[in-house]
A and B are shown apart, each in its own frame.
Chain A
């Protein structure tokens, strides 16, 4: 965690509330968008992804929304738990298959018990 924490935007939420983490992406040609969670001392952990031809996708307690008009991606976490505290990164991928991920800066989510 300390490797990514110095100057990140921070979102603090009460346990049980919903969290919304936002991301602006840069490449209008990107065809996949992914959210990763990074806990202290660990590598990025895949949460959920969405294709560019979709505008919403739901997982377990998480929803990703994609607005291609304004190049905006959001991650909604329902009923936030202390274990959700981490840094969250959005990433985009150019078309072509197995292309590199381009990561955003990250947002630190702190859950207040």
Chain B
């Protein structure tokens, strides 16, 4: 069964450093999303992406964040200058066109900012 994959599974970085989290969505999906989950809290929406541009973004997704689809298979989330409060699990999700409800999630990247 097709699945969303994410790399790395864990990332430790120093405050102020840039990180890039990578995702490979399900191949026939056209809508891509990033969510995050801070320890002990709810899953929160960051950004959605369709047709090579951002569709929606939350207030969390400030200028420190960016997304990119550099090729036909990868979808990345970049945090330019990480802060302590960026420590969280970051989940990528994708969905088929016309069936946005069924968003399929990857296993996540655990980011720890020291």
Q: Does A59 contact B (CB under 8 A)?
A: no
Verify A43–B106 contact, CB threshold 8 A: yes
Cα distance A4–B44 in the bound complex, in angstroms = 12
- Chain B nearest CB: distance from A45 CB in Å? 7
- In whole angstroms, what is the CA distance A27 to B74 when docked? 33
Against B, the Cβ 8 Å flags (1 = close, 0 = not) of A96-113 are 011111111110000000
Q: Which residue of A lies closest to B95 (CB)?
A: A98
Tell me the minimal C-beta distance from B90 to chain A in angstroms.
10
Check: A66 CB closer than 8 A to any chain B CB: no
Q: How large is the interface on B (under 10, 10 to 19, 20 to 34, 35 or more residues)?
A: 20 to 34
In the assembly, what is the distance between CA of A4 and CA of B41, in Å? 6
Cα distance, A98 to B51, chains bound together (Å) = 13
Q: Main SS of the interface on chain A? A: loop
Total contacts A to B, CB within 8 angstroms? 70
A83 on the B face (CB < 8 A): no
B100 touches A99 (CB 8 A): yes
Interface centre among A36, A43, A45 (most CB of B within 10 A): A43
**Residues in A whose Cβ lies below 8 Å from that of B39:** 2-3, 6
Q: Quote the shortest CB–CB distance from B61 to chain A (angstroms).
A: 11
Asked if A7 is at the interface of the complex by the 8 Å CB criterion, the answer is: yes
Q: How far does the Cβ of B11 sit from chain A's closest Cβ, in whole Å?
A: 14
CB neighbours of A42 from chain B (8 A): 107-108
A82 within 8 A of B: no
Say yes or no: A49-B102 contact (C-beta < 8 A), given A42-B107, A100-B56, A100-B58: yes
- Chain A residues with a Cβ under 8 A of chain B: 2-7, 32, 34, 36, 41-46, 49, 89, 91, 93, 97-106
Closest 9 CB pairs of A and B: A98-B100, A43-B105, A6-B40, A100-B45, A103-B43, A32-B101, A44-B105, A98-B31, A43-B107
B-to-A contact residues, CB < 8 Å: 4, 6, 31, 33, 35, 37, 39-45, 48, 50, 55-56, 58, 89, 91, 93, 95, 98, 100-108, 110
